[in-house]
Chains A and B, each alone.
Chain A
């Protein structure tokens, strides 16, 4: 992309003023965008709608009468292991349980769909220079952003309508069904709007997606804290758009006004994006580039990789460190639950007392932290894939750099970053948990540390799988995210759908996720480490043998 903005944009800026961007060419761009994104959008739609349908059917078959459902709901309400991940249960009707299972997850998936679609249609196009080609044709400055939002909006509204239809067909009341669909669509719209903003602020698609994705992760984590038990800080939910999605309480209180609030937030974010767009040049960001050194101290591939990954690495470490500390503060509140339910206290005392519950909570928050760290691992490999598809790998490999040196330059951080982030998260979690219970470095500290560190092999397995995809079939790269999402869904909703164990075992997450964090599942860890090593070995050989992609 050239640094010079088209002269016409200057004219537009002064004549149109803030907020009013010409939209000429919108219809053509919108149709083009839908065509370019049709496969991913259909996949997101299918994934979300089919999961909702499967959930309705499963609850219908598993708990046909209300008494059973009420008992099931009661047993889960007090169990933060589930609520940290899936949110609170507002109603024990089949619809209510479906909303509990899929409301939050569906909203998070819709949010990802919104982020990917908007960034791919805006910043990715600018980065590749294709947008500049379009900007030189009679297309309004605001048309690309409007078309991107319209594409995402079309898909998200479609998803919402289909979710509602599926619930109604499943025999659920119309109001709750419509609201469940609406909340999933509205959450998607909020993050589509957020992505529209980050796409203006950052000048690379990767950073724009990363920033929006990080805020999504943060939203998920914040409401997880709120949902960690009945004594958890419930007000925290209001700080997270995903918390709002829970507060809609579909099939229970059916709070339409929370959906309206969510949509209003989406509109506000879009307005911010439009205002930002009106003030920047095509291809550039809001943050002006400053001059740097005339000579460089970068001498090697590892040096280059450290330079380009250090910001991301520090951000991941700090985020997981903070998240670990928060988790450490909430796990012991699970003890308070014991006073709530007499039946539960009895059951738990039989199982080993309050410790069991605390450990189960630790294991659950460990799983969530592990998922976030796995995203870090996969995206480090994604940087290698991007380095290749934008042509810079070709330049590096034309010098005396071996394929292995380039590849390992990214695979080592792929192993180190999640390991460091999870260790820090574990230290923070263990320390805070320990200080609140049995002293800084006692058994509580060890339990907190182990709960996080046991996830390290899981993140490595995902990272190694990503490396394998990159080495053997670079054009299939997006599939790694689908595989990851599939594994997350399997582990999170698979058990309550009573899927067969062999299917659950497909997901690496299943193996280290259990109620007991005091015992490290050495067999599972060993298997995952062997798998990681094997996948990496094949990836190294594969990358040495294949053609290097060029631009």
Chain B
């Protein structure tokens, strides 16, 4: 891991409870400058709570949080000039128009009483096909979400904190959103993206943290995470090689005559394939792990941190 200066977000052993609910439980999260960091986890895992701690809206009970080199609680206002936030459930002022809200939020964010870059704002409104003249009370959920996204992107900030930003967007708008995020990253922004849409995280995310029961249970690049999963292999062989079950990383081995089916830790796949090839392969099917399988493994057991090592510490 690089020097601390590279970290845009750093949370160490952060605890937060609401009465008897332990929303965050020794949470560790690191986001590096310039990356899109996917933030995944089942409902109620603590994603939004972690984000609210980072925004200085909630005061953590214990632990250390750093954001853009400052303290999210005490330096909230100066930090907020450098970031933009899109909540998952956007409520707007019913009697203001979408355009008015976008200008209000960008003005407040700059802290200088002036909205930033009218050209960029208009371009985004165009790309997201938003009618800025309509009153917010008449917007559909997706359109309300667009107002918040446009207000965030129009600001051209160092850090985008997005909490399920695309819930309610149609597939076309989802594509526009992904384009815009890539552009923002291209011009140097860092993105923390909480999402339930795996394909979105897969196509945007450089690194991913999976949170369950208030703890980050997995963190690393997508490639690293794939390595933590198993590939399933089925083969029709000439003969069954000896010692297959002794090979490292082999699980669920089943042998019927010359048919072999097994699953293998992805980083041990090479040795297993070598053993199979030496036994004369007639047919072979191998399925790489999907992200879904990885996530579902954690989603199945919320609150039970998996013992597997965090890819960060490798």
Contacts and interface: CB of A to CB of B under 8 A. Distances in A.
Interface stretch (B101-109, B211-219, B282-290): B101-109
A289 B57 contact: no
Interface of A: 2-4, 203-204, 289-301, 303-304, 307-308, 390-392, 394-402, 545-548, 550-551
Nearest to B16: A547
Residue among B78, B89, B91, B113 facing the most chain A CB atoms (10 A cut-off): B91
A78 B6 CA distance: 82
A312 to B, nearest CB: 12
A308 B91 contact: no
Given A293-B97, A294-B99, A547 B57 contact: yes
Interface string B127-145: 0000011110111110000
Interface in B43-102: 48, 52, 55-59, 76-78, 80-81, 83-85, 87, 89-97, 99-102
B114 interface: yes
Contacts of A301: 108
Contact of A4 (B99, B114, B140): B140
Residue among A4, A301, A550 facing the most chain B CB atoms (10 A cut-off): A550
Contacts of A299: 103-104, 107-108, 113-115
B148 interface: yes
Interface residues of B, number: 52
B111 interface: yes
A293 B133 contact: yes
B77 A401 contact: yes
A323 B140 CA distance: 43
Nearest to A550: B52
Contacts of A400: 77-78, 80-81, 108-111
B58 A548 contact: yes
B104 A304 contact: yes
Residue among B48, B80, B118 facing the most chain A CB atoms (10 A cut-off): B80
Which 6 pairs, one residue from A and one from B, show the smallest C-beta to C-beta distance? A296-B100, A400-B111, A398-B85, A296-B103, A399-B108, A292-B97
A449 B78 CA distance: 47
A364 B96 CA distance: 41
Given A204-B94, A294-B97, A298-B96, A401 B108 contact: yes
A249 B102 CA distance: 59
9 contacts: A3-B140, A290-B135, A296-B96, A296-B99, A391-B89, A397-B56, A400-B77, A400-B110, A550-B52
B113 A300 contact: yes
B94 to A, nearest CB: 7
A551 B48 CA distance: 11
A394 B57 contact: yes
A289 B137 contact: yes
B135 A298 contact: no
Contact of B103 (A298, A307, A396): A298
Contacts of B138: 3, 289
B167 to A, nearest CB: 13
B94 A548 contact: no
Contacts of B137: 3, 203, 289
A296 B135 CA distance: 12
Given A300-B108, A300-B113, 20 more contacts: A2-B140, A290-B135, A291-B97, A291-B133, A292-B96, A292-B135, A293-B133, A295-B103, A295-B118, A299-B103, A301-B108, A391-B87, A392-B92, A394-B57, A395-B90, A547-B59, A548-B52, A548-B58, A550-B48, A550-B87
